[in-house]
Amino acid sequence: MNLLKSTVVILAAFLSLNVLANDWNLGCRNSHDISWAAHDLDRAAQHFHRVVHRISGYSHLSSDAHRLASEARHLHRLADRGSRSCGHLRADFASVSNAFRHLRVEFRHAHDSHHNHHVIHDWRELQMSFRQLRMAMRRGHGGGHGGGHGGGHH
């Protein structure tokens, strides 16, 4: 009887570890697309911050753009290292999403920036990059398979 209990406990522990391992590797399901999209968002966020800072100086918009650029850079580095923690990628993506929402609100209030065609163009690129990352994260964590984007991104 003790052998049966021991076997059940070991089997349960093994199954639990398997579930944890699957969650641990979840971020790798779509790692190429996530890494590519994180790279693209990092590039777009860094550029947008530089342009906004050049035009508006030290402003709320520039501050929020800097915050997004920092969060995007962090996520990009994590994704490039091939983070095996799905939870860590999700948490960092949540930080990026929060920074993007704050920036979007501030951009709507920054009427001076709405008259600059360069800023508007870069804002649209930033939005597109964010959407691509959001889709890659959803595919990576929802079980779907994303298509490749061709070539490396470095």
Query: Is residue 47 assigned to a domain?
Result: yes
Average pLDDT of the chain? 78
**Three-state SS across the chain?**
CHHHHHHHHHHHHHHHHHHHHHHHHHHHCCHHHHHHHHHHHHHHHHHHHHHHHHHHCCCHHHHHHHHHHHHHHHHHHHHHCCCCCHHHHHHHHHHHHHHHHHHHHHHHHCHHHHHCHHHHHHHHHHHHHHHHHHHHHHHHHHCCCCCCCCCCCC
11 pLDDT above the threshold of 80: no
Query: Is residue 38 assigned to a domain?
Result: yes
73-88 CB burial, b ≥16 within 10 A, e <16: bebbebbbeebebbee
Q: What are phi and psi of 81, to 5 degrees?
A: -75, -5
pTM for this entry: 0.71
Query: Is residue 19 assigned to a domain?
Result: no
What's the pLDDT band for 31 if we cut at 50, 70, 90?
confident
Query: Is residue 91 assigned to a domain?
Result: yes
Query: Is residue 136 assigned to a domain?
Result: yes
pLDDT digits (tens, 9 = 90+) for 40-66: 999 999 999 999 999 888 899 999 999
Q: 81 is written with which tokens? A: 């290292």
Query: Is residue 41 assigned to a domain?
Result: yes
Query: Is residue 25 assigned to a domain?
Result: no
- Domain of residue 84 covers 30-142
Query: Is residue 149 assigned to a domain?
Result: no
What's the total number of domains in the chain?
A: 1
